[in-house]
Structure 1
């Protein structure tokens, strides 16, 4: 069974005074299998951020359905949604979303604190993750005391500590320099190889070239998809760049 099923999802926004409508998503259908690493690409305004918000249950589709492990997200009550997200989804944001008044350790613990977990259990879960991400020595520091790359590793640790079904990453390399971006992408590859399913929205061809599959969104629909197969990162990069050129020039699927 697929981990994530997106079926005929549509999203229409009505302007403030109801004068006109904007269709952000027209008919999006795709699935994500367990242990996959999928990137979503598209030009600004193509609908990819809207799609990510719907997958994260931060927004609701106008039509269609989203299923996570067979569960229809539209059937989850509002008062249960926060707990559902904590238990099933991990989030990695472009701007890190760390609390400056919390240490890195406390930022990572936050989802478990909200879930009512005990400190001993939280510490036991944190240490192997921190070691894998190379941030063990930084845990007592505050976000303003570390680099952007270290902040993003902290955000990844926070996403992983709940053992989520799916990590949703929104432009995770967008605020990083090239070296920190490379480090993060290697990290994503590693945690995916260890079994974590990842879905990433990105403008970066380099970031997408690390994924196993790339979905291209155009005018609110899945325009094309590209599978890695046996391609190297360099070959994947070239194929993605070629597809984006076709996308921007109005080519056929």
Structure 2
């Protein structure tokens, strides 16, 4: 069974005063297997962010279903959603979402504190993750004392520390310089090789090149899927670029 199942998802927004309806997602169907690394791409306004919000249980589809390991996200009651997110999902955002008044360590611990975990357990989990992400020496520092790349590593540690079923990443390299972005994508690849399932929304062809599959969204629908197979990152880069050209200009995908 797939880890994530998205079935015939439609999302319609009603504009202010109910005068117009906007169909952000039309009929989105796809699944993600355990251990997959999937990138979602498309032009601005294509529905990527709406889709990510639905996968994160931050929004509900107008029609259709989303299942995470068999659990219907739409069937969760309001008071269950926060706990479900904490226990099953890890989030990595473009702007890091770190609290400046907390050290990096306390930022990383936050979801475990909210879950009521004991301090010894939090320390034990953090030691392994911090070493893997190369931030052990930075844990007592505050977000304003470290670089963008280091902030994003702390944000990834916060996402991983709950041992989530799925990591959802929203433009994770968007606020980073090219060197830090390359380092981050290498990190995502390593985390995925360790068995972590990742779904990432990105505009970056280079970032998407590290994924095992790329979903292209156009006008609220899945337009095309590209599987890595035996392709190198460079070959993936060219394939993705060619697909995006067709996406924006029309024509056929070869």
User: Which bin holds the TM-score, normalised by the shorter protein?
Assistant: over 0.9
- CA distance in structure 2 between the aligned counterparts of 1:114 and 1:186, rounded to whole angstroms: 30
Structure 2 SS opposite 1:60: coil
After TM superposition, where is structure 1 displaced by more than 2 Å over at least 4 residues in a row? 250-253
Instruction: Give the corresponding residue for 1:12.
Output: 12
Runs of 5+ in structure 2 lacking a partner? none
Structure 1 SS opposite 2:50: helix
Superposed counterparts of 1:10-89, under 5 Å: 10-89=10-89
Superposed counterparts of 1:160-175, under 5 Å: 160-175=160-175
Give the Å deviation of 1:252.
4.6
TM-score w.r.t. the length of structure 1 is 0.99
Instruction: Give the corresponding residue for 2:123.
Output: 123
Superposed counterparts of 1:171-190, under 5 Å: 171-190=171-190
Structure 2 SS opposite 1:17: helix
TM-score w.r.t. the length of structure 2 is 0.99
What is the number of equivalent residue pairs in this alignment?
A: 253
| C-alpha RMSD of matched pairs (Å) | 0.6
Give the Å deviation of 1:250.
2.2
- CA distance in structure 1 between the aligned counterparts of 2:54 and 2:7, rounded to whole angstroms: 12
Are 1:201 and 2:201 counterparts?
yes
Q: Provide Cα deviations, 1:98-149, integer angstroms capped at 9, x if missing partner.
A: 0000000000000000001111010000000000000000000000000000
Structure 2 SS opposite 1:95: coil
Runs of 5+ in structure 1 lacking a partner? none
Superposed counterparts of 1:72-111, under 5 Å: 72-111=72-111
Q: Provide Cα deviations, 1:203-229, integer angstroms capped at 9, x if missing partner.
A: 000000000000000000000000000
Structure 2 SS opposite 1:86: helix
